[in-house]
Amino acid sequence: MLRYVLRRLVMLVGIVFIISVGSFYLIHLLPGDPATVILGTGASPANRAILYKQLGLNKPIIEQYFVWIGNVLHGNLGTSFISQTSVASTIRAAYPIDLELIFLSQVLAFAAAIPLAMRSARKPNGLLDRLLSAGSFTLLSIPPFIVIVLLVLIVSIKLGIANTGPSSFVSFASNWRVNLTSLALPSITLATASFVLYFRVLRSDMIATLQEEFITMARSKGLSQRRIMWRHAFRPSSVALLGTAGVNIGGLLAGGFVVQYLLGIPGLGYTLISAIASSDYLLVQGIVLVVSVGVVLINFFFDFLTSLVDPRISRE
Amino acid sequence: MSDLLDQSPGIEPLREQRLGPLFWICVGWLTLNVLGAIFANVLPLVNPLYQNYIVINAGPSLHHLFGTDDLGRDILSRVVFGSRVSLAVGSGAMLIGFGIGMPLGMLAAYRRGRLDSILTAVMYVLLAFPAIIAVIAVISFWTPRTLVKIIVVIGLASVPLVYRVIRSATLAVATKDYVTAAKVQGSTDRRILFRELLPNIAPIAVSFLLIGVATVVTLEGALAFLGLSVNPPTPSWGNMINESRTVMAQNPWLVIFPSLALCLFLLCLNFIGDRLRSYFDVTEVKL
């Protein structure tokens, strides 16, 4: 177990290192002199000097990386030359919204997927199973950006709660009611995509599990249906579910970008897309770095969780 | 007791015997889409960029079957021309992904040894990357955005995934007796790769290819929706949906037709991919 975690930890460090190199190099994908592109042609020499110091632009590229990563490790992701605020503080203000959105959507998705998948798996090819399977297959082909647009079209325009813009967004702490109302449609949208995934994985895994001998054994012992389903069948099948949830985080974030963009919710996604639109490259770079590392960390955490639930994985 | 018997196994036919009529309807719809995209110039359609200010935000009518948008452009024509972007990105990116990932995956699984362990380790690290964020990052910095750049970036991002699927598919085949027999007979590596392995992993490759195209088309749609794909006024399904956001309440057709086109396209791809997979019974290899 310890060896497994250590091995994954070494890999994690390697991946984070590669992400940092990739994020660093983004600036050099810009056409021409990075300082001119980032600051615009009419930049003051003072600003140029700050940027050169921040990015170490007058040094060879390998040294530049160490200058940059040194700053990053001290929590300094640079200052946006468009909004004049530090990138780190912008990110710090935005990321809780993404976490809340992900949390809400996952609660909804699991609450719907687990009972329905277990129901479906009890009578495969039964009426309920056929309906749910066909329904989830159809939903699989409707991308989140269409789901949210349709939801807005149907629900919020009728109710008059369309895009109110990022400035009117209220945090959960200051007014939870308004906060949850504005996050309802986005959470449902993200939950739909996750639901499809979780339902399909859990259903097929449960069908396989229910054919195992220990289930027949439990049945012949006369255990109640409920106990068999939850204690004997769901527990082994939940491993596959956990694994899927971990892998799903990346897609969930991208879906989050789309809903935030449409509804003007000022999370990382909205901030990222606005930063791209206004060529605020340092902010884009900072968000890319933080989000990528975040996804990798969450994946690592889920891997660890899965190995706790199913110790066989760590022994492989 | 009856409850017990009720739930006994023997469910889910392992192998579908027929492809079914729905399969062929999907194939037909996809063919229609492809033909429409290729021959969009020749078809009797209004120029998708032509702005007819006399009919703005009109609903469906005989003159404009899908109606017109806020600039008086014909929606039907824009939907047909918009399919070009989706199809180009879907097929182009998968061409790159399979072009690089498939030979690498087959070679790694066939040769094994050091080549395999190095390649697999590299791909594993790349897979841990959140690909979508990497794609957005590269596309936003690598300005100016063009269709070719988008295809290249998404194509390269798909390589590790293709590699993994093809490698595990080839691994399952490479240990079969007929491959050993071919080796014993003194067949060249090239012959074994092309004549023994390739035909046997083809069903998996094709069904993964279709699902891959669907994924890529979805990704391009999302990018276009975020304003990160081809620039307007060139129509694409994603940017049509994006542009209609502001006038959605007055003219819902503007959202509905491109959304419908995209969803039907994805549904057909997913359905064909899924059906082929169960038809060829390739469940042993996890896709």
pLDDT tens track for A112-169: 999 999 888 888 888 888 899 889 888 888 988 888 888 888 876 666 655 555 666 7
Contacts with B136 from chain A: Cβ below 8 Å: 254, 257, 272, 276, 288
Place of tokens 């200051």: A174
pLDDT for the residue B177? 85
Q: How does pLDDT run across A168-207, given as a tens digit for each residue?
A: 677 777 777 777 777 888 899 899 989 998 998 898 888 8
Q: How does pLDDT run across B33-84, given as a tens digit for each residue?
A: 999 888 888 777 777 777 777 777 777 777 777 777 777 788 888 888 888 8
State how far the Cα of A139 lies from the Cα of A143, in Å rounded to an integer. Answer: 8
pLDDT for the residue A252? 85
**Total Cβ atoms within 10 A of residue B286:** 9
Interface membership of A21 toward B (CB under 8 Å): no
Cα–Cα distances in angstroms (integers) from residue B14 to residues B5, B189, B279, B287, in the given order = 20, 34, 9, 16
CATH topology of domain A93-315: MetI-like fold (1.10.3720)
Q: What is the mean pLDDT of residues B94-116?
A: 90
Of residues A31, A124, A254, nearest to B11 (C-beta): A124
Of residues A23, A145, A250, nearest to B131 (C-beta): A250
**What is the interface size between A and B, counted as CB pairs within 8 Å?**
134
pLDDT for the residue A209? 85
Q: For A201-230, give one letter per residue: b (16+ CB within 10 A) or e.
A: bbbbbbbbbbbeeebeebbeeeeeeeebbe
CA trace torsion A189, A286, B154, B106 (10° rounding): -110
Is B141 in contact with A210 (Cβ distance < 8 A)? no
Helix, strand, coil percentages for chain B (3-state, nearest 5) = 70, 0, 30
Report the percentage of chain A scoring pLDDT > 70.
Answer: 92
Q: Are B223 and B66 in contact (CB under 8 A)?
A: no
Q: Give me B119's structure tokens.
A: 């390649």
Interface membership of A254 toward B (CB under 8 Å): yes
Q: Give me B98's structure tokens.
A: 């399979």
Q: How does pLDDT run across B179-233, given as a tens digit for each residue?
A: 888 888 888 888 888 888 888 888 888 888 998 999 899 888 888 888 888 877 7
Q: How does pLDDT run across B134-151, given as a tens digit for each residue?
A: 888 888 888 778 889 999
Q: Give me B67's structure tokens.
A: 């109606």
Place of tokens 């490698």: B167
- Enclosing H/E stretch for B110: helix B75-111
Which of A249-258, A280-289, B95-104, B239-248 ranks highest by mean pLDDT? B95-104
Q: Give the three-state DSSP class for B68.
A: strand
Is B225 in contact with A210 (Cβ distance < 8 A)? no
Kindly tell me the burial class for residue B198, based on how many C-beta atoms sit within 10 Å of its own C-beta (0-12, 13-18, 19 or more). Answer: middle
Name the band, by pLDDT with cuts 50, 70 and 90, for residue B30: very high
Q: Give me A213's structure tokens.
A: 């001998």
Q: Give me A29's structure tokens.
A: 């994908």
Of residues A11, A123, A276, nearest to B140 (C-beta): A276
Place of tokens 């690089």: B100
Residue-range domain boundaries for chain A: 2-73, 93-315
Is A144 in contact with B245 (Cβ distance < 8 A)? no
State how far the Cα of B103 lies from the Cα of B124, in Å rounded to an integer. Answer: 17
pLDDT for the residue B9? 44
Average pLDDT, chain B: 82
Contacts with A192 from chain B: Cβ below 8 Å: none
**Total Cβ atoms within 10 A of residue B219:** 26
Q: Are B25 and A141 in contact (CB under 8 A)?
A: no
Q: For B245-263, give one letter per residue: b (16+ CB within 10 A) or e.
A: beebeebbbbbbbbbebbb
Q: Looking at the predicted complex, does its ipTM rise above 0.85?
A: no
Q: Give me B253's structure tokens.
A: 């057709």
State how far the Cα of B113 lies from the Cα of B108, in Å rounded to an integer. Answer: 8
Select from A81, A4, A75, A76 the least CA-distant residue to A35: A81
Q: Give me B7's structure tokens.
A: 């739930």
DSSP type of residue B235? -
Q: Give the three-state DSSP class for B151.
A: helix
Is A149 in contact with B274 (Cβ distance < 8 A)? no
pTM of structure? 0.85
pLDDT at B8 over 50: no
Phi/psi at A86 (5° precision) = -75, 140
CA distance A174 to chain B (A): 30
Which of A25-34, A151-160, A294-303, B45-54 ranks highest by mean pLDDT? A294-303
Name the band, by pLDDT with cuts 50, 70 and 90, for residue B90: very high
Is A146 in contact with B134 (Cβ distance < 8 A)? no
- Could you tell me which chain A residue has the CA closest to the CA of B223? A258
pLDDT for the residue A167? 62
Interface membership of A144 toward B (CB under 8 Å): yes
Q: In A, residues 150-169, which contact B (CB 8 Å cutoff)?
A: 150, 152-153, 157, 162-163
Place of tokens 């307007």: B232
Q: Are B258 and B85 in contact (CB under 8 A)?
A: no
